[in-house]
Chain A
Amino acid sequence: MARIVLDNLVKRYGDDEAVRGVTLAIENGEFTVLVGPSGCGKTTTLRMIAGLEEVTSGNIRFDNESVENLPPKARDVAMVFQSYALYPHMSARKNMAFSLRMKGVSRAEQERLVQSAAELLNITALLDRKPRELSGGQRQRVAMGRAIVRNPRAFLFDEPLSNLDAALRAQMRIEIKKIHQKLQATIVYVTHDQVEAMTLADKIVVMRDGRFEQVGDPVEVYQHPTNKFVAGFIGSPRMNFIPARLVAENGALSAELRDGTVLPVPRGRWPAYRPYADQAVEIGLRPDHLTDRQETNAPSCHFLDATIDVIEPTGATSLITFSIDGIEFAAIADSGVPRRPGDRIRLRADMSHMHLIDLASEKVIAPDCSTA
């Protein structure tokens, strides 16, 4: 397996810049997920790594060897496509053996490797079927088998689960993770689904408009997003962005919402946030930290009264949508309490998890490390 380095990688189509000088090191055996909305350049980046797209400028290195000018064949990477891209005229077995055949591996060895990959993926019984005789999930497995069988330097996944239904997607996520743990393979995985990104990645790369917005481990990116885009993109349900004014009174900071509600800012954050005193800002607060649940009763919690617009039960909890001063918010409420749209609800805003966003730069202002 290889360590992959992208160095100031640029891809232009005419005047359009799809990838704008991205730099990244993917360690040997690391599971890296590129995540972002459609058109952000994540698939283009992946295709440049695979050699399916020419690099306009910049460098791609596999273990210090420059590969950006090599054809896909010479890069020895395996790719799993969103469409599965199984060869329709070949059986699953022949699909999986295709790369070995291209390499000139003996028939006996081809059969052995295909069998062993098929066992890993539980598709031994399907090997003689043509792709059209397989279900979506089975095709996905064969496509993965085709990648695994050849022991490549890296695996590239291009939104491999987006054509599967929700249940199958969750199952395949687990399987992909298991395979990664077993093979310790270098994986670059592209998805627009932030849940997939969070659950699979060792390293998550959030992309927008051809740039990397943030790179880090999933928990770090979730807890400490560096800007409003990442804060909004990572995490489901989406973070609430609350327009407010940071008010300094007797040395204490608090956020005053448009409707006059005042939410005190935790003391530990005052030094970092003080430059924004008396300025319009945005407060970022995830729905998980805006809740009626009893366990959230820390001293940093403050009450917010609201009228429910929409309730979406999700099981143990429900997603509550309400609006204050024309802006919609999402909160998590206990499903055990019977509620209806129009009911009043008292929510606790856990301000120890708040994010302060500079309106001009849309950057999240980092709180001091010592604070919550």
Chain B
Amino acid sequence: MSGRAASPGMRTLAVIASVALLLAFTAFPFFWMAATAFKAPSEIFVYPPYFFPRDFTFENIARLFDQTRFLTYFRNSVFVSSMTVLVTLAIATPGAYSLTRFRFPGREKIAAVILFTYMFAPIMIIIPFYVLIRFFGIANTHLALILCYTAFCLPFSLWMLRTFFQSIPLDLEEAALTDGADRPRAILYVLLPMALPGIIATGIFTFILAWNDYIFVRILITSDELKTLSVGIADLYNSSVIDWGMIMAGGMLIIVPVVVVFAYIQRFLVSGWGAGGVKG
């Protein structure tokens, strides 16, 4: 390209080409997964491979539902992830609020230490978690998973919400207070509606983290009927004949809820409300 002399049209073309390349790189595994999920078993190992199934079939999906506990895993994943979101937000929202709005000694240090705890990789804390869970006698329960995910998500959620609350001018809450609201109502009517994009973003983050987790389920859950999708699907590898069609169908169905949730909720993430309330 001729650099400085490039016309706007050329530049647009270059941008589109770069985006397409990047998209192909990131989306190809997903495409391959979906394509394989709809291929008949005989087509999966054909060389050279087909990009698109020639004999389009739902057989893999049907077998997934028939021969595995996919639906149970799915239900477990939805339950555990949703409960984790609820518990995390229920703790992180008031926690982050107090970290931004109340003055108390060591407030900034507490915030820094909270973030610091997030720096431990799950693998480092899984053993202490397991010891605690055993101690409380809740090993091999969904409660254990929810508590572990909450503990793991809280630091980042607190930090993320704190940043959101910090971006909401104090004046707005004070205006509500002088307008005759008490603090709970000022929070309910003014702060929370404005923090909603942040709360939703935090919720999504927590949901995805819980949904995708493998290691906690692997360590804390032993009963097959309590497993979540990530471990349930991974266990399909353990059979003597690896059924790639079924695994790909499972993988595809795992990401469907995440895509749907994200597609619906992403509009909240574009924080359009913030502007205009206060000057500056």
A-side residues, CB < 8 A to B, are: 50-52, 71-73, 76-79, 81-89, 98-99, 102-103, 130-134, 136, 139, 146, 150, 156, 163
Contact = CB atoms under 8 A, between A and B. Distances in A.
Contacts of A77: 178
A85 B278 contact: yes
Nearest to B179: A99
B280 A163 contact: yes
B225 interface: no
Given A89-B193, A89-B194, A98-B189, A84 B177 contact: no
Contacts of A99: 179-180
B175 A87 contact: yes
A130 B193 CA distance: 14
Given A83-B279, A102-B185, A88 B178 contact: no
Interface residues of B, number: 25
B276 to A, nearest CB: 3
Given A72-B177, A82-B279, A98-B179, 7 more contacts: A79-B178, A81-B175, A85-B172, A102-B179, A102-B181, A102-B185, A131-B277
B175 A85 contact: yes
B273 interface: yes
A80 to B, nearest CB: 9
B171 interface: yes
Interface hub of B174, B185, B193, B194 (most chain A Cβ within 10 A): B174
Given A79-B175, A88-B273, A102 B180 contact: yes
A98 B176 contact: yes
A150 B280 contact: no
Contact of A132 (B174, B180, B275): B275
Contact of B273 (A50, A89, A136, A156): A89
Contacts of B175: 79, 81, 85-87, 146
A182 to B, nearest CB: 22
B94 interface: no
B280 A73 contact: no
A85 B169 contact: yes
B213 to A, nearest CB: 34
B274 interface: yes
Contacts of A133: 276
B78 interface: no
B177 A83 contact: no
Nearest to A102: B180
Contacts of A79: 174-175, 178
B55 interface: no
Given A72-B178, A73-B181, A84 B189 contact: no
A99 B274 CA distance: 21
B182 interface: yes
B139 interface: no
Interface in B150-172: 169, 171-172
A99 B176 CA distance: 8
A79 B169 CA distance: 16
B211 to A, nearest CB: 30
B254 interface: no
A227 to B, nearest CB: 34
B276 A134 contact: yes
Nearest to A146: B179
B188 to A, nearest CB: 11
A194 to B, nearest CB: 22
A61 to B, nearest CB: 18
Contacts of B177: 51-52, 71-73
B143 to A, nearest CB: 36
A51 B171 CA distance: 13
10 contacts: A52-B174, A72-B178, A82-B279, A85-B171, A85-B278, A102-B180, A132-B277, A150-B179, A150-B180, A156-B178
B178 A52 contact: yes
A328 B176 CA distance: 48
Contacts of B178: 50-52, 72, 77-79, 156
A83 B169 CA distance: 9
Interface in B168-206: 169, 171-172, 174-182, 185, 189-190, 193-194
B276 A73 contact: no
Contacts of B172: 85, 87-88
A50 B169 CA distance: 18
Nearest to B185: A102
B199 to A, nearest CB: 14
Nearest to A97: B179
B179 A88 contact: no
